[in-house]
Amino acid sequence: MRQLIRFEIGKMLQKPLVWAALIALAAFVVTMGYNWIAPGYAAISTEENGQRVLIEGFKAIPMAKEIAAAYSGPVTDEKVRAIVETFDMPDAFWEASAIDPSREAYCSHNLMYDTLSSHGFVNPDGSYSGRTIQEELGPLAPEMILGYSTGWECTINLLMYTFLLAGCILVIIVAPVFSEEYTSHMDALILSGIHGRRKCALAKIISSYLIALTGSVLCLALCTLTFLAIHGFAGWDSSVQLGELGIFDKTPFLLNWLQAYGLACISWLGGMLVLTSIVLVVSALAKGSFSALVIAFTIYALPMFLPWNLLPDNIALFGYLLPITQMQLMKLFRIDLITLGRIRFAPVFLALPITVIALLIGILWSKKGFSHHQVT
Amino acid sequence: MELRIEHLTKQYGSFFAVNDINIVLTRGVYGLLGANGAGKTTLMRLLCDIQTPTCGTIRYDGQDIRTYGDHYRNVLGYLPQDFGYYPNFTALKFLLYMSAIKGLSKGFAMQRSLELLEEVGLLQVKDKKIKTFSGGMKQRLGIAQAMLNDPKVLVLDEPTAGLDPKERVRFRNLISSFSQNKIVLLSTHIVSDVEYIAGDILVMKQGKFIHEGRPDEIIRSIDGKVWECSVPNADVPSLERSYNIGNMRMEGASTVLRVINEEKPMENAVSVSPNLEDLYLYYFNEEENMK
C-alpha cells in the first residue's frame, strides 16, 4: 500500500501545471507575507523637528507594541478618550505634509488610534467623537480587551487568502486523480489488476488527503512561525473586535486572537478536507479529467459569489460551511454562538462533524465510483 | 482450466454489441477475428470484468468472475486496444507500478520487470520515458505488463494494430512464446496475426460468433467459393463493383483476380484453395465496404 501511495503522490505532483500552481502559491505567500507579516504594514506617525514622520516596517513593530502595552487591558471610555487625545496630531503637522487636517482620521497614526478611528470614536478631523464604548462596540464592550493585535490579524488575513488560493491548487491536483485514468485509458489496466479496485483506489484517496493535509499544515506552519518570530505572542488575549483591520469586528461574541486563530485553523483544515472529498467524488464520477476539473472548480468557487447574507442566519450557515466560505472565515465569524441544550459553541465547530461526514462520503463514494467505473 | 461463457450479452439501448455468446475456452491461443464494430473489444472488456454484461455469465473454473473478483484478476493479463500509459514514467517504473497494482512483492516485482523487459527487448531502454518510445516499443511494454503476474488468462485486444510488418512479426513471436499453458484470446482484424499463432479461430460478426474452430476447419467452410481468373486490365473496375475481389496481380495487359463468390464468376475462372484472408473477405466484405 505504501508503495502505491508513493506512486500516486508522484503522479499527482509531477505535472507541469501542478508545479506552476505551487510556484504561484509560494510567490503569493512570500509577497503577501512581506506586506502583511514581515516586516508587515505596521506604521507609526510621530513628530520629528515639528514635522510628521511615518515610521514603517521592522522599526515600527516594537514602537507599536510599546504603545499597545501602555493601553492594553479592558477597553473603557477613559482609555478611548486618552488614546484619541494623545495621538491627535496638530494641524500644522498635516499641513507640512500637504495633508488636509480635516481628513486626519483617515491617515495612519498607530494601531491603537487607527483601531478606534475605524470604530467611530474619532471625528474626521482627528478629534474624539465622544461616543461611548457601548454605543460603538455593543453590550459586550466592557468585557473587550485592547492589545497588540496587528500580527495576529495580519497573519489570519494572509492565511485566509493563502487557503483560498490553496483550494484552487488542490482542485488542480486532485481533480485528475481518477478522471485522468479514464482519459489516458489506464483505467482498463488498473481495474483489471488484483489491487486496482480496492488498494489502488484507496491509495489515490489517501494520497489526496495527505497532500491536502500536508500542504495546509505547511502553509500554516510557515506563516505562523514567521509571525511568531517577528511579532511574538503579544496581544493573544485581546479581542478580535478591536483589530486594526476590522476583519472580525462584526463577531457577536467574545473572542480573543488566540481563540480566533484556533477556530480559523479548524475552519481552514476542515475546508480543505471537505474540498478534497468533493473533488475526489467528482473525479471518480466524471467522464474525463477536463470535465472533472471544470465541475470541481465550479463547485468550489461558485458559493463565494452567492448572496448568502440575504438569507436568515440559520439557513445561510449551511452556505457559510461550504469549503470556500468556510476558508473565508468572516461570514462564519459573524454568526452568533449556537445553543444546543446547555452548551453554547461557535458555529465554526460545526466544521468538525461536517468534515468527518465529508471524509466518509469522499472515501466511500469515490472508491465505489472508481471500482464500478465502466471502461469505454 | 476453462473459461465458460454463457448467454453473454451487452446491450447499448437497442444495439447489441455482444449478443448471446456461448463458448468454452480451454488452454490454447484463440484468434478472435472480426471487422471493426463486430463486438470484439466489448467481449474482451466483459472477459476482463471492466464492463458489466447486460445478461449472461463468464465462469473461470466454475466460478462467476464477477463474484470471484480478485481471485480472477490475479490470473488475468490484459492488453487493451488503447493501451494507456503514463508518458513521463520510464519503462521500468511503469512495470513496477503495474506490479504494485497486480500485488507483486517489491523484490519480486523488480526481478520480474527486468526479466520481462529483457524478453521484450526493452532492457536497454528501461530508464527512458515511455513518451520517447515508438508504437512497437509501447506495445511490447504493454505485453510485458500483461505478463507480470504470469496470467492463466491472457486477453490481447488488437495488439498489432498500427505496427509495421517487422514489429508485427516480432510481436506475434512474443505472444507465441508467452502462450504456454494459458488461455490466450487475441483479437484482431489483421488476418495474418491469427493465421500463424492461433490454434482456434472465433469469427465474430454483429456481436455473435458465426464460426469457431481450427483455422483449416473454418477455411474449409468456404471451399469452392474462391476463384482465380485472368481478365483484361480494362475490365477490372467493373468487376470490382460486381464481385468480392481479394488479391489482384497484374501480368502485362491482363490482371489475375482472386474472387470470392458463391458461383463461378466467369468462364475462365478456376477454383483455388481458400485461405484465412479469403474467409475474412467472405464474411466481412460488406462491413469493409460500408466503412
**Residue ranges of the domains in chain B?**
2-216, 226-272
Contact assessment for residue B186 and residue B176, using Cβ atoms and an 8 Å cutoff: no
CA contacts within 13 A on the Cβ side of A239: 21
- Subunit contact A375:B49, Cβ cutoff 8 A: no
Q: Which of A8, A17, A194, A368 to mutate to test the interface with B (most CBs of B within 10 A)?
A: A194
From the list B80, B106, B149, which residue is nearest A185 (CB)? B80
Q: What is the mean pLDDT of residues B132-144?
A: 86
Answer whether B49 touches A (CB < 8 Å).
yes
pLDDT at B93 over 70: yes
Cα-based angle A25, A27, A31 (whole degrees, multiple of 5): 120
- Subunit contact A189:B86, Cβ cutoff 8 A: no
Q: Closest approach of chain A CAs to the CA of B26, in angstroms?
A: 20
The pLDDT mean for chain B works out to 85
List phi, psi (to 5°) of B252. 65, -120
From the list A187, A193, A198, which residue is nearest B102 (CB)? A193
Task: Report domain B2-216's class.
Answer: alpha beta
Q: Closest approach of chain A CAs to the CA of B92, in angstroms?
A: 13
pLDDT at B224 over 50: yes
Answer whether A17 touches B (CB < 8 Å).
no
> Is residue A341 exposed (0-12), middle (13-18) or buried (19+ Cβ within 10 Å)?
exposed
C-alpha B52/C-alpha B62 separation (Å) is 19
- Subunit contact B48:A188, Cβ cutoff 8 A: yes
More confident residue, A207 or A58: A207
The pLDDT mean for chain A works out to 87
pLDDT of residue B291: 47
C-alpha A27/C-alpha A33 separation (Å) is 10
C-alpha B43/C-alpha B19 separation (Å) is 10
Q: What is the mean pLDDT of residues A52-77?
A: 84
Contact assessment for residue A317 and residue A350, using Cβ atoms and an 8 Å cutoff: yes
More confident residue, A125 or B58: B58
pLDDT of residue A113: 85
pLDDT at B289 over 60: no
Q: Closest approach of chain A CAs to the CA of B74, in angstroms?
A: 5
Q: pTM (2 decimals)? A: 0.84
Scanning A332-351 for CB atoms below 8 A from B yields none
Q: Closest approach of chain A CAs to the CA of B70, in angstroms?
A: 5
Task: Report chain A residues whose CB lies below 8 A from the CB of B101.
Answer: 4, 189-190, 193-196, 199-200
- Residue of chain B minimizing CA distance to A15: B88
Answer whether A11 touches B (CB < 8 Å).
yes
- Residue of chain A minimizing CA distance to B143: A189
Q: Which of B94, B98, B101 to mutate to test the interface with A (most CBs of A within 10 A)?
A: B101
From the list A3, A199, A375, which residue is nearest B45 (CB)? A375
Give this complex's ipTM. Answer: 0.81
Contact assessment for residue B10 and residue B17, using Cβ atoms and an 8 Å cutoff: yes
pLDDT at B288 over 60: no
C-alpha A291/C-alpha A287 separation (Å) is 7
pLDDT at B103 over 80: yes
Poorest-pLDDT segment among A87-101, A147-161, B232-246: A87-101
Cα-based angle A180, B156, A371 (whole degrees, multiple of 5): 40
Q: Which residue has the cell 462584526?
A: A250
- Subunit contact A185:B102, Cβ cutoff 8 A: no
Strand B2-12 versus strand B226-232 pairing type: unpaired
Contact assessment for residue A165 and residue A30, using Cβ atoms and an 8 Å cutoff: no
- Subunit contact B78:A375, Cβ cutoff 8 A: no
- Residue of chain B minimizing CA distance to A373: B50
Q: Which of A191, A192, A198, A289 to mutate to test the interface with B (most CBs of B within 10 A)?
A: A192
Per residue in A310-345, pLDDT tens?
A: 888 778 888 888 899 888 888 888 888 888 888 989
| pLDDT-derived band at B287, boundaries 50, 70, 90 | low
Cβ atoms within 10 Å of B241's Cβ, excluding its own: 7
Q: Closest approach of chain A CAs to the CA of B51, in angstroms?
A: 5
Q: What is the mean pLDDT of residues B225-248?
A: 83
Q: What is the mean pLDDT of residues B157-176?
A: 78
- Subunit contact B97:A7, Cβ cutoff 8 A: yes
Nearest-10 Cα torsion for A78, A80, A84, A87: 90
Q: Closest approach of chain A CAs to the CA of B159, in angstroms?
A: 14
pLDDT of residue B137: 85
DSSP annotation string for A335-354: SPPEEETTEEE-GGGGHHHH
